[in-house]
């Protein structure tokens, strides 16, 4: 396993799914993890699962002042942050005809503006230290168009663009910036959405078949990629959309 010993990490959307898996994997690799979620109870549940002592935070990433307050708490406790994972995100199903402007605004507020609000709270201290590692959660929908996901793809393409821009802007500051682009991942949220279909079994098979491997990914597999990107072994990796898509993009 790649070591994150002595590293301080902050993970948003850590109350379930991919965020929880990343928090757990980071702790197993030796990091001190701050788990943030809009639902404090879920973040506390995650912290209770960690192999190393951690801290839970209630955080709505849309609230810039709240982001600044929680960053001050982390900096007050440790003096700095080594690894920031912007995982919090929301989705939407719809085309240009069925997506309302309010839908786009809702996704943008979390997936793009929220990501930047959290980053801006921690980035200045990283620049001062000339050290830092930022991982954004993008999507295969930030690299390829996904049918019936217009607003979601718009925001995830933006995340990929932000990743590349930040990587260029802050390479000289000793800060690496990458994003992970998963295909469909079998999270509690995805399972709940599948259960809403008229034929959940057929929906599950269809979603699994999108990946060349014939299955959806697991949160733990995304977390493993995050551990690698956060580790010193990935020191030469920056500005990269890290595809973890089961072969979805292979034929595109």
Residue 152 is among the residues annotated as catalytic for this protein: yes
Which alpha helices (H) appear in the chain, and where do they start and end?
17-28, 40-48, 64-78, 101-108, 115-129, 150-170, 188-195, 200-209, 219-230
CA 188/CA 209 separation, integer angstroms: 19
CA 111/CA 218 separation, integer angstroms: 21
Find, among 181, 223, 236, 194, the residue nearest to 16 by Cα.
223
CA geometry: angle 14, 19, 24, nearest 5 deg:
85
Tell me if 36 sits within 8 A of 11, measured CB to CB. yes
- Cα atoms found within 13 Å of the Cα of residue 235, Cβ hemisphere only: 6
Query: Which positions are annotated as active-site residues?
Result: 152
């Amino acid at each position: 396993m790649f070591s994150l010993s002595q590293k301080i990490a902050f993970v948003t959307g850590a109350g379930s799914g991919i965020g929880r898996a990343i928090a757990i994997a980071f702790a197993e690799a030796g990091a001190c993890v701050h788990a943030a979620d809009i639902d404090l109870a879920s973040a506390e549940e995650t912290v209770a699962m960690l192999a190393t002592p951690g801290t839970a935070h209630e955080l709505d990433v849309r609230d810039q002042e709240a982001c600044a307050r929680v960053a001050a708490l982390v900096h007050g406790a440790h003096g700095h942050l080594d690894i920031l994972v912007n995982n919090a995100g929301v989705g939407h199903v719809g085309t240009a005809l069925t997506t309302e402007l309010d839908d786009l605004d809702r996704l943008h507020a979390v997936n793009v503006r929220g990501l930047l609000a959290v980053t801006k709270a921690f980035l200045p201290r990283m620049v001062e230290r000339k050290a830092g590692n930022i991982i954004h959660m993008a999507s295969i929908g930030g690299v390829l168009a996904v049918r019936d996901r217009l607003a979601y793809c718009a925001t995830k393409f933006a995340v990929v663009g932000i990743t590349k821009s930040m990587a260029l802007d802050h390479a000289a500051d000793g800060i690496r910036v990458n994003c992970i682009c998963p295909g469909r991942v079998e999270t509690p949220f995805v399972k709940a959405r599948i259960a809403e279909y008229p034929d959940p079994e057929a929906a599950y098979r269809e979603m699994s078949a999108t990946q060349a491997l014939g299955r959806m990914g697991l949160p733990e597999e995304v977390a493993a990629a995050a551990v690698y990107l956060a580790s010193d072994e990935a020191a030469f990796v920056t500005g990269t959309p890290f595809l973890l898509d089961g072969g979805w993009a292979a034929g595109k």
